[in-house]
Each structure stands twice: as C-alpha cells, then as structure tokens.
Structure 1
Amino acid sequence: MNSQQFEVNPQVTILHKNGQIFAADLSGELNPLTLVIPDLILLSLFASSRHPEVAAKIFQTNELVKGLGSNIPLEQIYQRISHFIQSKLLLEHPSKYQKNETLGISLQTDNTNLNISDVSILKLGMNFSLTICDSGFKIWSSLLRDSVVLTLEETLILLSFSSGKTVADIISQRLFSAEEKEVRSSIASMIAFGLLLVEKNETAIQNDQSSPMPTANRNRVNYSNSTDVTSWEELELNGKIPIYFVPHMENHYPLALGMIFSAISEYKNGALLDKYCLVPITYLSPDKFLNGPYRKFGNGVWLFSNYMWSLETNLKISEIVKQHMNGNLTIHGGPSTPNYEKKCAEFFIKNKSVDIAVHGEGEVTINEVLECLFKNKSGAISYGAENLKNVTGITYRNYKAENNQVYRTEARNRLKEPDSIPSPYNKGYFDLYGGNVDAAIIESNRGCPFKCTFCDWGSATNQKIRKFDLERVKQEIEWIARNNVRVLWIADANFGLYDRDIELSEFIVKMKGQYQFPQEVVVNYTKNTTWRLAEIIKIFTKGGIISQGVISIQTTDVKTLEVIKRKNIKTEKYDELSQIFSELKLPLSTDLMLGLPGITVDAFKNDLQRYFERDVSVKAYPTQLLPNSPMADPEYMQKYQIEIDKDDFLVSTYSYSKSDLQFMKTFYRIYTIADGYSLLRYVLRFLQWDHNIKAIDFLSSLAEVVESNTTRFPRITFALKYFEVDKIMPGGWRFFYDEIAKFCESKYGILRDSAFDTVLLVNELAMPDEFITYPISTKLSHDFEAYFHANNSRGIRNSEKLINYAKGEIVFDDPDGMANINSQYLQYDSHQFFWEIRSSIARAKSTSDFSQLPHVNDAS
C-alpha cells in the first residue's frame, strides 16, 4: 500500500439522489462514486492528511463500524482506499486546493419538545450536500442561514433518511451506538435546524382536480348530441368496407381525424355510409389497434393524419398493415405529408406503403376519393386510377402503370364554408375516444393573412380567413368543459384578430366557473394587435385560466425578417404590447426561432438583450423545415444554402455555420437558466443598471470562464450545466451567489458592498426553498423593490443607484408550491417559467397551483 499521506479532495461533496448517496464534484470533472455507510466512515478518517495504512487500522477498530456488524478484511479496506485515490476523492497534495473550514454551529440536542410521530416520513432536502471537515461533516441550513457541523454518528443518522423513512424505521434498525433517546433528540434537532423535512400528506394532492399539469383518471362523462355512437366491439360491418381512423396521441382528441369522420358521415346526407362502416375514433396503442379493430374487421381503408410527432408511427403502422395484407388501402394527409411535387415523389418512393396522399384540407377530398374506391373479387380495397384523376388535391400510385407510377392531380380550392362540416365534438364522434385526455383542440377560424416562409398553417398561409359559426365554437367549448378536459388549444393562426375572440374568452371563463374546466388555454395570438390581446389575457387571468400573452416575434433582425418574408409584421407593435402588459401586470412572453436563415450569432444575442431590457420572458425553438412551408421550396433552400439534419431541423445556412448554431443553442440555454428561471434575474439587472454591463455580455463572460476552467467556480458550473435537468443547488443557493460575487470581482473589479449584498440576498430568496415557511418578509439594507420598479418601468434607466436607496423590506410567497416540487419536474408546454418565488418584483404569472401537482413531494 502507498506509504504517502492522503487527504479528502476539498472539491468533493457528498450528495444524494433517488435514495443513493454518492461523492462527486459540482463541476462534473469527477465521475460520481456511489457510497455506502462504511465508505463515509473511511473517508472521514482522511479529513486531515493520513497514511492509508494508519486509516485502515483505525477503521477496523472503529466502534461505529463494529456496530454495523461489518467485519471487513484489511486487504479489502486497502482496495477501497485505492479506489478513492484513483477516483480522486483522496489527493496526495491537497494543499493547492482551498480546504473546507470547520466554521459552523454544532447540532443542539435539546429539542425534545418537538413532537414527531414515529410514522411520519422524514427525508433529506433537494439541495442536500455534505462536505468533510476536521470536526466531522458540514451542511448548510437555509433556515438558520448558517453551516451546521455534525459528528460522524449524527451524519449517519441524517443519511439514514436518504430514501425517506420514518423515525420508527431508523430506531428499529439499531445501527447506532447512541441510546434511543439520544437518536430521537438528534432527529428532532435536525428537523428544527432545517436539515430534515417532514414529508407532507399527498392524498389531497393526488385527488385534487385543479392541477394545471396532466393527470390521469379524470371522471369523464361524455356529453354530446349523439345517441347512437357504437363502440368498435359492438359494431357489425354488414358487408361494408371498414374505415380505420388512426389516432396518434392518447392525451389529445385528434381534431383533424374527427373532422374527416364528420365529413364522411354527412356527405350527401350519409350516402357513403351505405358503402362504408366508420370504425369509431378510439385511442388504442398500435399493438392493441391491430389486434382489436383490425383483427375483427380485416381489410379496409386506413386514414392517417401526419404531423411531425406522428409521422414515424403512422408510416410504421401503414407499413405493417400493407405487409400483412396488401388488400388494405392507406391514405395519408396532414401537414407532414409533402405537397411540393418533388418532395412528394420522394415520399412515395421512400414509403412503399402509401397508396394515396391528400394535400391541404381533406374534408371534401376524402369523400371524392372514397367514391372511387371499391372491393375487388379477392376482397382487396382498390380504385380505378382513371377515376382518381378527376379528384383534385391528391397524389396516388397507379398500380396498372409501369413501376407503379405516381400521379399528381391539380391543386384543390380551399373549403369556402367550414361550417359545412359538422363539429366532431358536438356530433359525439369523440365520445368513445377513451385514454387519459388532457387537451382538446378547436378552430374558430381557418387561414392566415401572413406568408412567413417557415410556416405552414394547414397550408393556409397568405390566405383569406374563414370563420366557423360562433355558436358552434361555444358548443364545442362547453363539451370540452363538461368532459373535464384540462387544456384547451385554440388552433387559430391569429387569435385576437376579431372582437368575437374577446367574447369567446369570456365564454371560456364562464365554462370554467360552471364546470371547473378548462383550466389552461393555449393559443397563437395575432401578430399586429395590442388591445385585444391585453383584454383577452386580462379576462383569462381574472377568471383563473392559465394563459399568457405570447408575441411570436421569431426575430427582430431586419435582414432575417426580409429573408423569411415577415417584414409585414410591425415589431413596434410588440413594444407597445409589452408596455401594456407591464402596466396591467399580466404575463407576457415572446417566441424566438433558433437558426432562421439570415440570423447570425450577434443578431440572436441582440434579440435576447432586447427582451431582457423589456422584462419579457423568451422561449426559443429550433427551426424545423416543415415539408409544405415556403422554406421547403427547393429553390428557396438552394438560394439560402439551407442544410437540414435527419429530423429536418436546420443546421446551417448562408448566414451561420453548424458551430454558430450550436453556440446559439448553448447561449440560449444559459440565458434561460439566468433570466427565464431567474437564477440571475436581479443580479443581471443590477450589473446593467448600476455598472453598465449588458446582460448578454455578462453571460458571455460567465460562459467563457466556465468553459475554460470548470473547477474555478463549481456551483456556477453546476448551474449552467445541469440546472435545466435537475433544479437544485447542492449545498444551498447562498454559496452559488457567493461565487457570482467572486466572479464579478475577478472579472469586473466589482466589490461586495451593502448594495451588491442586497441584490445577492434578493436573488437568493427568490429561489424556492423547502425548509422556509412562506410568506417570508426580509429587511434589506436598501429598498430594492423601489429601485427595481424605478429602473424596470418603461425600460428607462433611473439615474439613482441602489447604494443611495434607504433601507427597505420585501416579501416572498409561494402560492405555486414551487418549494416542494420534484426537482426533475417537466412542466406542460408553457411559455411561462415556473420556478421563481412570487414577490412584487417577480414577473407576472398566470393562475397556477403547483402545490396540487402530482409530482410535488414525490422526489426521493
């Protein structure tokens, strides 16, 4: 065994996740190493430099080791120490690192008045982190705002709750040398000191129906005007041809398929129903679909509505049914079925299972196609190729021609009267859908007057808008509300364009008041309006609907706007809108697109800076080439040197390289962590307002330092690398902001004074903490609330610096339950970042009640 002395690496911290204890460094330089209780005892012997042989012998005679019933051979101990050395948990020359000091308070064991039930489940906090010091193990208490130093035995008691256990569980294991009374006293003190959490009762959480996140087991009762909907199990073909509608998402009603179902049912007063049997739209997994309805009914017509997220699955099912029996006939439509002639030809060559492709709106087209189909003598579904030539808006295979030649017909005119197709909701065609439905989609109109090249709004861009009857739309909303559907998607390209959209918003709120649903509304708001959008969001917010204003700016870069043909949308309207929303304290965000042709790194940074200064949250999405968008035109792609990946996402154009795009994605991720989730929301503004350091410049510098030296600021590195995946800060937020202060001093020469300390404290308290009881009121050396509003209002820089403000106070509250949320939660696709604790200076948020979510308190 090595005769040199070793000591614990000061960069190493002890963490927990999913009940596992492991050692790691926050910068991610070392591979995490899972630990067991004897490992902790062994590591503690290297708090100061020590020879491995000496440590091994001490370990063998340790009373705690004996109490665990461990009789570990000396050779095995040496092997474990060697593993620690190889893993860099132990260093030979630790003096070059800053050693963890012992400073902190000791655990007081006189909290016998704290009554904790033996059956209460106790657990460690999300930000749990231990460091080894000379006197034992050190842990930060956000409740006391001080470090607590634990003895080895106290540490082992604390870690016994890593997977969530009761006091009775721990006592019954008899792993400790201390008497039961002392163990109980230590546990009580750990709770009082904010080191252990009493897990809350989850029964109410699981049963609450107001959750704004997807939940299962809704008590859904179907209400419609239909009285004769028959399930597929009870359905009989009676010699008719079955038509299969293939849904692709369990949690959404498939509106497009429903409209097709309705169109077929109503065509010429139901004339097609003499020939065809419509298999009810029911969500089944592909395997259950094939072994259920298909096994029962056999050969038929298969209808697929292709979207980016369903295309792969749909084509797989299409391939399976054609391979199983070529007598099946497949018809593919939807926005991911290519319309450009060359692309469509390639689609048919690549996908041999596709018989017919429908372009654009399919409600009329499908009926004309069905009129041309028949069952031949062998029972296969077939068509006369000559007859299909008269059906506009399709591409199809001519199986009688050489090499199954693909034939394309003339383009179809758009449906003039969308109300000619009855609502599938109101007709009851979704009554047998089943599944755990969280969302329903409606249209109040079709078409879009704009012609942005990246967009394909149902192939209806640069088109006149056609409205659905208002009463029809209201009936759909009531059906959705009565059926307990949580999220309502309004699939209009420009909701808020008309006065009647305000009326619809009021009706949605009325329905929520009557039925408690819907609870969230997702819309695409109109581009060139202000007051209607503000009015709609005001209605939703007052009515308890989760929603917010979304300005789909995509970019403000003039050159890029020219390339994507979006210059007809006035960016000054967005600035006017952001001012209105700010004054009304309503939630507002903007959409940007990553990788548009014409964009550059500097232009993208400028977009972020612009909305930072307007205090508007930003969601940026990678640009994906939609097969029927103007951007997919081969000539357009060639002109702007557009290169895409296997999933059709743009990876380079004439204006940026692949490495540029990767930088933009990384920078946006850092920006999201800093400003979206508010980790540096107040620090960034203070630095810009009082020190003239632009937010994007500061974040660029921060990213460069982390990239060049990950261990210099380990907590900053951890946040930038891992926060979006794990919303925690091991060791507590206090030390993260201490590192931010050190970075500011080293990079910009900014020293900590009472003003900077005020900012750091405010930003720290804005982070959720499960050990704090909210609301919490904190006295400040300077009135940060007044300072923030003076500078943030109208984007005008106030000349008065924070250091000149008198003392103040600020209140933080947590009505959203963010402090108790699972650190790995994935929020529904929302433009809002739910993380920062609410206060008078936090961004406006829509109604939310995250404390009722099924993922609250379920972290181990």
Structure 2
Amino acid sequence: MPREKALVYLVQQSVWDSPMESMPLAMGYMKSTALADERIAREADIRILNYRGGKTLSSMANEMFRDGVPDVLAFSVLGWNFRTFGSLAETFKQLNPDGWVVMGGTHVAHQGNRVFRMFPEVDVVVNGEGEFVFRDILSAYLDGTSPRELNAITGLTYQSPEGAPVKNEDRARIENLDDIPSPFLTGALELTDDKGDFRYDVAIMETNRGCPYKCAFCYWGGAIGQKVRAFSRERLREELELFAKHQVHTIVLCDANFGLLRSDVDFMDDLIELREQYGFPRALETSWAKNKSKSFFEIVSKMKKAGMRSSFTLALQTLDDNTLNLMNRKNMKVNAWEDLAEWLGKEGLDLYAELIWGAPGETVESFMEGYDKLSRRVSRIACYPMLMLPNTDYTEQKSRYGIISVRGDNDDFEYMLANNTVSFAQNQQMQRFLYWARVVAEMCVLRHTWVGLRELAGITQSEALRSIGSYIEESGDPAAEPLRAAMASAIGGTGDIAQGVTLFYTDADSRELLLRWWASEIRPKLAEEVAPVVEEIFRFDLLTHPVYHDPDLPVPADEALPVVSLRGEGYHVREGVRLEYDVPGIVAALRGDREADLRRAPMSLDLYYRTGSHNAVTSTNHEVIIHYMGMSKEEALANAAALETSPATSELVSDHGGCS
C-alpha cells in the first residue's frame, strides 16, 4: 500500500560519545524550514535521527531501517561522520533504489566531484546554507522530478543522467535570517525526553552568521563569506525564554565572533534578565570576537556583575609573526592579546586560549616559545593539530606550503604530517606533547599549579608537561600503562583524548600516579622556602577536581558528600577543607602580577561541586568541565544566580550525597 506521506529522514551524528545527546540544530533548521511550506507539511513526514559519536555504523543501520525505509535520506556531514554516512547511503540504495540521498554541511559543500566519486549512491550535495535549498529539493521530489534533473535549483551539485557532476549556480546568502523558522519555537526540534527533562547536554543557538575574516585554515571565512547577518532580538529572546523555562544550564553559541555586533549586547541583556526571572540559563559559551570591541568589554562587564559564567577565548592560533602572515591574520588586532589577558585575569574571569600546531611557517621552537609566553597569562591552552579542511587556503594550496598529510583512521580530515618548516620526526615529537598538554592542562587536571611552578620555582608550563609525559611514557609503574595506551591510541589515529581525561578524573590509580610523578620529578626541584606553598597549590588542584561517581553504582559511604540546592541546582559540598596556606589568595596575586604573601596561614573553607559531572569528565569539552570544578561558596552562589547569600538561599537536600 502506498504511503500517505513521503518519509524523510534527517540524520545527524555528534563527534562526542557522551551519555547525553548533542542538539541537532542543523537538522532542526532543515525540518522547520521545510514544514513551513504548506504542501511539504501536508505531504511529507519529516523525522530527525540524532546519533551520539560512539554509535557504530551497524547499529545506526539497524535502527535507521528497522521500522521502514525512507523516501529521502538527508545527512548533515562533517569530517567525523562522512565515511559512515557514505556507507549508510550505500545500504539505503540497496533497500530503496529509487530513494534520494542528500548530503549537506561544511565537509561536502562544493565537493560534489569527490563525494560522487567515493559514494555514487549520493544524489545531491548542497553547497552553502541549506535550509531553502533542501526545501526546494523536497518540493522537486514531491513533483516527481528525477534527481538527475535538478538544474532549476540553485545552490547544489547533482549527477547528470550520464553520472557526471553538475554544479549549479551558487545561491545567494540568506539576508533575513528570521525567514528561517525557529526549530525551537515551532516544535520542529524535540526539547524534552520521556520524563519531560531537557534532553541535550547544552542548548545550541546562533545569533548571527558570517565572518569578516579570511583565515587560511578556516571554513567560516573562506567559504561562508564575509557579511555578518543577525537574527532579530525578538526571536532570540523568545528562544532564550523557552530554554530558561526548561532550566537549561548552558547556552552554546555557534557564532564565529560573538561580541562583534552591538546587537550582541542586547542578547546579553536579555539573557541576564531571563536568568534573574527563571534562574536559568547559568552559563554562556561561544567563540568570542577575535578583535575585542567596545561591545565585548560591555558584555564582559555585564556578565561579571550578574555572576554569569563563561570561558573567554583568545583564539590566537600562533604567536609567530611569519606564521600569522601566512594565515592571513597578521593585521588582526587579536594579536595584541596581552593587555586583554591581563585585564580578564585581574577581573577574575575564566580565560582560555587556542593554538594550532603544524601551521605553515611554525617551528617546534617558535611554537614552544609561544606556548610558554601565552601560559604566563593563560594556563588553559587548547592545542589543536593542524587539519586541512575543505574550501580553505591551506587545502587548496598544499604544494605551496609543502604540506604532507594523511586522512584520519576514523574520520575524513586530513592531518598534517610535515610541511616546509616541520619535519616528520618533529611532528611526531610534538604530537606527544600536544596530547599531554590537552589532557592535563586544557582539560583542567591541573589549573593553578602552573602559575605556582612558574613564578615560585622557575619551571615553565611546557617543561612541566614534558616532565609528565616522559614520566608516564617511561615508567614501569603498572598505573602508567592505561595512560600510555590512551596516548598511543589518540596520536595513532583516533585523535580522541577522552580516555586519558577520564582516567585522571575517575581512576584512583591514575591520580596516585600523578602524585608519584610530583614526588619524583617536581618536589626535588623546589627550593625549600617555596616547596610547601607550591605543593599546597598542587594539592588544591586535586581537591577541586569534579566530584565523580559512576551513575550505575551506589556511592560508597566513605565518599558520600552532602548535597545542597542553589536555586534548583545541586552542589556537593566538601566541608571544612583545611589549607596550610591561603592558596586562592596566593594564586590570585601571582596571576595579577602582585606580590604574594607566602607565609603559612592555616585556613578552612567549604568547596562546592556542581552535581552531574558524569557527562563532563568523560568528554573532551573543557568549556563544560570547568563548570564542575570545586569552588568557594561565593562562587557557587554566583554560578547559581542566587539573589542573596543568606542561609535561606541554600537548602540542605541530603545528608548522604547523590550520584553525579
């Protein structure tokens, strides 16, 4: 019996293998735009299939086609799912030879020739913004048009009747972004699970699209175009209020340069006002504007005053002038970063930086020099290996830069192996450093220790990280073997640091190994007059690790902590933590270039840890994990948007603690 409606599957897969779903925003846009067309809404049944990063190809295929085979199968493609989705397209065509396969996303846009060569089962590749292109594709399908006769639709590449790629004229960018119906407000994207709880790890939004820069490594500027267009304030406020009502903790923006536009200040005003009204959202994460304007500083001041948490990014990528020039970033104000870092540090605001290893022009020496220079202001440095992405200058001019690359084992990204300034052997050496830098520093296993080592013992952050790496890689200690295996797996092809991060945060043997490294390699290098202070800073770092318990197991009685509720959100409390020195004060002074009082000053404080850390400590998202670190009562109250700090603000929920 023929179907009453055409069945359309929109498929998205996250890069993260986390217990909670990542929001499929791209497919939400596709669905809401398509359903705004009355005919499509009447004649098509559109469903979103959203998979976690760890989902295998076979399990996806069995789930996808278990209850029937769609008529149109559309994929949101990025480098980590390209091969998987190509294989699913092959399976789909065996089940439904007349069905249509559509691919869109940054990894396949303008890459139709390669896509069709690798996966001839794909019928259409969308180039650029896909909302209205996909709507037109569905209309053509409902009209009975052949997928080999799509010459009337701009913004796509298809296969001719002879199988040759045909690239149609590009479609103009969407000028009025409000023409795209909101997937949240229309209900196109399901927001809650069967229990009525918000189903995603964070809420993902866009406030604008576009980028004014032309960085050689980046798709945003190279392929999306320079003009920045914004969604209306009214729409964004409605979406924020919906998330507030669902008690969403963190909003993550997909913007390339939040804080660049004056309208971004309005967005922050609305976010803060809604948080005061509903208690949520509590935190904002985004890619901040590379050039910090008056609007940026105004936003930061508003966030600090309101106690709104965020991680402020210095997206530097390199500190080497020659490399910056080849990146097309030489004249960007982002390179005058030190004053900004100093200002944010003195304001007590969380700050992290980004560097790329392996960019043309960079050497081992220049990278390490830049890393340590940057670490004087920012200890949390995200170091990413050089990836050659489609539609970027580096990929299109590989011969100019002498780039030798290899495709990933489990993804379709090109990884740099060597270039004009980096040998193969040097790159292998640096991959090991990057692994420990990401696991231990970027992911906050150690946070405050770096400034203590640098300012009180003359040990740089890179020196300490290389010491950790050498100790683990060369140790005969059985506890080192899982960490060595995790490193070998990550730099051998998967690129996944999650296993190493999880070990340090959840495995007692790995934490003990860290203590033995300290006693063996660091303690002997410390002068006696500063050793007790530096060791107390190191101990404080370990004390402030997120409180983690396996959610499938009962909490051991000796590990249970009381849990309090701050405006509806739970916090473990470790009461009466004794410190022999004023570690928070010393760290703040050292970071603020002030003289620290190193005299012994015993103190006691309570540490608060946000509950529910399981997702954070088993992921690779440093912007999330920072919200689960131990903090003072004042910081916890600010994080919970408490309006007052009286005892009534905090309500005791349990004397025994709960699983996080």
What is the TM-score normalised by the length of structure 1? 0.59
Say if 1:472 and 1:788 are closer, same or farther in 2 by CA, change over 3 A: closer
The structural deviation recorded for 1:411 is: 2.3
Q: Identify the match of residue 829 of structure 1 among 604, 618, 621.
A: 621
Structure 1 counterpart of 2:253, from 487, 490, 494: 490
* Cα 1:531–1:742 shift into 2, 3 Å: same
Q: 1:467/1:307 Cα in 2 relative to 1: closer, same or farther (>3 Å)? A: same
| Structure 2 equivalent of residue 79 of structure 1 | none
Q: Is the Cα contact below 8 Å between 2:259 and 2:295 reproduced in 1? A: yes
Partner of 1:776: 577
Aligned counterpart for 2:345 among listed residues 582, 589, 598? 582
- Determine whether 1:398 maps to 2:160: yes
Relative to 1, partners in 2 of residues 1:734 and 1:702: Cα closer, same or farther, differing over 3 Å? Answer: closer
**Count of paired positions:** 582
Which of these residues, 359, 368, 372, is aligned with residue 609 of structure 1? 372
1:463 and 2:261 aligned? no
Aligned in 2, Cα 1:685/1:407: closer, same or farther, shift over 3 Å?
closer
Please state how far the C-alpha of 1:597 moved relative to its aligned partner.
2.7
Corresponding position of 1:361: 129
Identity of aligned residues (%): 23
CA 1:716–1:836: 2 relative to 1, 3 Å: farther
Out of 105, 109, 112, the position equivalent to 1:344 is 112
1:274-293 pair list within 5 angstroms: 276-281=43-48, 283=50, 286-292=61-67
In the alignment, the residues of structure 2 paired with residue 601 and residue 398 of structure 1 have an alpha-carbon distance, to the nearest angstrom, of: 48
Trace 1:615-630 onto structure 2 (pairs within 5 A): 615-630=378-393
CA contact (8 A) 2:258 2:264 kept: yes
Residues 1:256 and 2:26 are matched in the alignment: yes
Structure 1 Cα separation of the partners of residues 307 and 230 of structure 2:
27
Work out the CA distance in 2 between the residues paired with 1:245 and 1:556: 41
Quote how far apart the aligned CAs of 1:476 are.
1.7
Q: Counterpart in 2 of 1:134? A: none
State the distance in 1 between where 2:521 and 2:641 align. 31
Aligned to 1:592: 355
Query: Is 1:632 matched with 2:632?
Result: no
Q: Does 1:429 align with 2:429?
A: no
Instruction: Give, in angstroms, the shift of residue 659 of structure 1.
Output: 3.1
Q: How far apart, CA to CA, are the structure 2 residues paired with 1:428 and 1:569?
A: 41
Query: Does 2:416 correspond to 1:651?
Result: yes
List alignment gaps of at least 5 residues for structure 1.
1-235, 745-749
User: Which letter does structure 1 place at the counterpart of 2:167?
Assistant: R
Q: Say if 1:857 and 1:607 are closer, same or farther in 2 by CA, change over 3 A.
A: farther
In structure 2, the residue corresponding to 1:360 is in which secondary structure?
coil
Matching residue's letter, 1:521: L
CA-CA distance at 1:405 after TM superposition? 1.8
Alpha-carbon offset, residue 556 of structure 1: 1.4
Gaps of 5+ in 2: 15-19, 52-59, 487-499, 545-557, 562-573, 643-651
Using the TM superposition, give the Cα deviation of residue 667 of structure 1 relative to its aligned residue in structure 2, in angstroms: 1.8
Change (3 A) 1:632 1:315: same
Per-residue CA distance 1:786-831 (angstroms, 9 max, x = gap): 665554324x7x6x9x8xx54434555421269x977993257233
How far has the Cα of 1:392 moved from its partner?
Answer: 2.4
Contact map agreement 1:304 1:314 (CA 8 A) in 2: yes
| Pair 1:329 & 2:95 matched | no
For 2:504, the aligned partner's letter is D
- 2-side partners of 1:472 and 1:809: how far apart? 52
Compute the displacement of 1:324 (Å): 0.9
- The residue identity in structure 2 corresponding to 1:660 is Q
Residue 760 in structure 1 maps to residue 535 in structure 2? yes
Q: Whole-Å Cα distance in 2 between the matches of residues 242 and 677 of structure 1?
A: 42
Contact 2:123 2:147 in 1 (8 A): no
In the other structure, the counterpart of 2:591 is: 792
Structure 1 position 618, deviation (Å): 1.1
What SS is found at the alignment partner of 1:505?
helix
Paired residues for 1:849-860 under 5 Å: none
CA contact (8 A) 1:259 1:424 kept: yes
State how far apart, in whole Å, the 2-side matches of 1:432 and 1:788 are: 41
CA–CA distance in structure 1, aligned partners of residues 427 and 639 of structure 2: 32
Cα 1:531–1:254 shift into 2, 3 Å: same
- Counterpart residue number, 2:432: 666
Q: Is the 8 A contact 2:479 2:513 kept in 1?
A: no
Q: Which protein is bigger by CA-based radius of gyration?
A: 1
CA contact (8 A) 1:318 1:354 kept: yes
**What is the letter of the counterpart of residue 153 of structure 2?**
V
Provide the C-alpha distance between the structure 2 equivalents of 1:848 and 1:658, rounded to a whole number of angstroms: 50
- The partner residue of 1:446 within 209, 216, 232 is 209
8 A Cα contact 1:555 1:607, kept in partner:
yes
CA, structure 1 residues 824+787, in 2 after alignment: closer, same or farther (shift >3 Å)?
A: closer
Distance across 2 between alignment mates of 1:337 and 1:575: 38
What TM-score, normalized by structure 2, do the two folds share? Answer: 0.75
Partner of residue 496, structure 2: none
CA distance in 2, matches of 1:667, 1:512: 41
**Of the candidates 8, 24, 48, which is equivalent to residue 243 of structure 1?**
8
Query: Which of 553, 569, 576 is the aligned partner of 2:332?
Result: 569
Asked if the contact 1:622–1:649 (Cα under 8 Å) also holds between the matched residues in 2, the reply is no
> Is the alpha carbon distance of 1:735 and 1:654 closer, same or farther for their aligned partners in structure 2, counting shifts above 3 Å?
closer
Tell me which moved more, 601-610 or 481-490: 481-490
- Residue 282 of structure 1 deviates from its aligned partner by 5.9
| Paired residues of 1:446 and 1:493 also in contact (CA < 8 A) | yes
Q: Which residue of 1 aligns with 2:55?
A: none
Give the secondary structure class of the aligned counterpart of 1:525.
coil
Instruction: Give the aligned residue type for 2:32.
Output: S
Structure 2 Cα separation of the partners of residues 476 and 823 of structure 1 = 25
1:316 aligned to which of 87, 95, 99: 87
Written as runs of structure 1 = structure 2, the 5 A alignment for 1:655-804 is 655-672=421-438, 675-676=441-442, 684-690=450-456, 692-697=458-463, 699-700=465-466, 703=469, 710=475, 724=501, 725-727=503-505, 728=508, 736-741=517-522, 743-744=524-525, 752-768=527-543, 774-780=575-581, 788-794=587-593
What does the per-residue CA deviation read over 1:602-636, in whole Å, with 9 as the maximum and x for residues that have no partner?
22212321222114421222333322333322x34
> SS at 2:530's partner residue?
helix
CA deviations on 1:297-323 (whole Å, 9 max, x unpaired) are x5x232222123443343233222211
Task: Report the Cα offset of residue 580 of structure 1.
Answer: 1.9
SS at match of 1:529: coil
1:533: Cα distance to partner? 3.5
Q: Distance in 2 between matches of 1:679 and 1:431?
A: 35
> Are the structure 2 counterparts of residues 716 and 848 from structure 1 closer, same or farther at C-alpha, using a change threshold of 3 Å?
farther
1:497 deviation in Å? 1.0
Q: Does 1:413 align with 2:172?
A: yes
Once the 2 structures are TM-superposed, how far is the Cα of residue 704 of structure 1 from its aligned partner? 5.1
